[in-house]
């Protein structure tokens, strides 16, 4: 097509610059000469487990380019088991914030999350993966933001419910507001033993604990799923070392790079494909 030759089922094992105007690409059985080389081998997240994209990174590294550490982005999160116990398979809409070990907000999201047997998944949670900074990060979920935009309205509603259903168990307080299993988890995180209490037993301090558990349901992050489970790779060749107008190397004229081999990854929704 357009004067080019297509070579399939062939691994390029090396690339050298013969002179200032020509590159030589080498395979186990052949070699090719070209005035320009475009490295677009993708990242490990888009490949099958048996594939290997390290050759592209090695070529760029050999020509002096910086390769920033690779990690899975847009990938499910592994969490502590206590906060997700009994919730596997439940999908909810919520707002969430990702905080680091210093309790600083490093990312916000809003949308759906899915509780699994290992943690949380789908877009809202997966968007947070690229921002996780080592150990100690956690999520705080606002489970009632779509119904009660401020604490005053939520507090008033809970007191009305408490008065109406005083002899019933505390999880009844949240019926209609959220899934029954999530309501039970909220009560547990608020410190209730859920062993014989009734709504009449809850004083204003306990109600405040419940409100904080609804607004800031805490889930500790233990890690991310494997690269094979990711939709996108974070990390790669430093974008600052390439001209954005034509993706040509600022270090080696005639060498180009594009796609996921570069250290660029976007939100879910087609941006990474573009």
What is the three-class DSSP state of 62? helix
Place of tokens 């080696």: 252
CA distance 118 to 115: 8
| pLDDT band at 48; cut points 50, 70, 90 | low
- Neighbour-count burial for 194-209, b at 16+ CB within 10 Å, e otherwise: eeeeebeebeeebbeb
pLDDT confidence of residue 1: 63
Per-residue tokens: 119: 């943690």
The pLDDT of 129-154, averaged and rounded, is 91
Percent of residues, the chain, with pLDDT higher than 90: 76
In the chain, % of residues over pLDDT 70: 96
- Sheet (strand 22-27) strand order: 12-19, 22-27, 31-34
Which pLDDT score, from 0 to 100, does residue 192 have?
A: 92
List pLDDT tens digits, range 71-83.
999 999 999 999 9
232-260 pLDDT, tens per residue?
Answer: 999 999 999 999 999 999 999 999 999 99
Report the alpha-carbon distance of residue 22 to residue 95 in Å, rounded.
54
pLDDT in tens, 93-135: 999 999 999 999 999 999 999 999 999 999 999 999 999 988 9
CB 97 within 8 A of CB 108: yes
Task: Give the C-alpha separation, 204 to 179, whole Å.
Answer: 24
- pTM given for the model: 0.85
**Average pLDDT value for the chain:** 92
Contact 170/199 with Cβ under 8 angstroms? yes
Least confident range of 42-46, 142-146, 152-156, 157-161: 42-46
């Amino acid at each position: 097509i357009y004067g080019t030759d297509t070579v399939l089922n062939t691994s390029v094992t090396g690339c050298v610059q013969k002179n200032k105007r020509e590159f030589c690409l080498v395979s186990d059985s052949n070699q090719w000469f070209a005035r320009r080389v475009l490295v677009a081998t993708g990242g490990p997240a888009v490949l099958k487990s048996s594939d290997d994209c390290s050759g592209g990174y090695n070529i760029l590294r050999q020509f002096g380019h910086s390769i920033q550490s690779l990690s899975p982005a847009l990938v499910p999160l592994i969490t502590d088991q206590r906060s997700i116990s009994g919730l596997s398979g439940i999908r909810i809409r919520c707002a969430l914030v990702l905080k680091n070990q210093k309790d600083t907000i490093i990312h916000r999201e809003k949308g759906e999350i899915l509780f699994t047997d290992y943690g949380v998944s789908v877009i809202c949670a997966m968007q947070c993966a690229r921002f996780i900074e080592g150990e100690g990060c956690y999520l705080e979920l606002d489970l009632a933001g779509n119904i009660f935009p401020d604490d005053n309205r939520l507090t008033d509603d809970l007191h009305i419910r408490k008065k109406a259903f005083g002899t019933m168990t505390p999880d009844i307080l949240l019926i209609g507001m959220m899934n029954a299993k999530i309501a039970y988890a909220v009560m547990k995180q608020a410190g209730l033993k859920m062993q014989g209490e009734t709504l009449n037993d809850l004083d204003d301090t306990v109600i405040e604990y419940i409100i904080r558990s609804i607004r800031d349901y805490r889930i500790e992050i233990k890690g991310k799923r494997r690269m094979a489970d990711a939709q996108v790779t974070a990390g790669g060749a430093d974008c600052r070392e390439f001209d954005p107008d034509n993706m040509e190397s600022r270090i080696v004229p005639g060498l180009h790079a594009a796609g996921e081999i570069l250290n660029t990854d976007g939100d879910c929704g087609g941006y990474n494909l573009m």
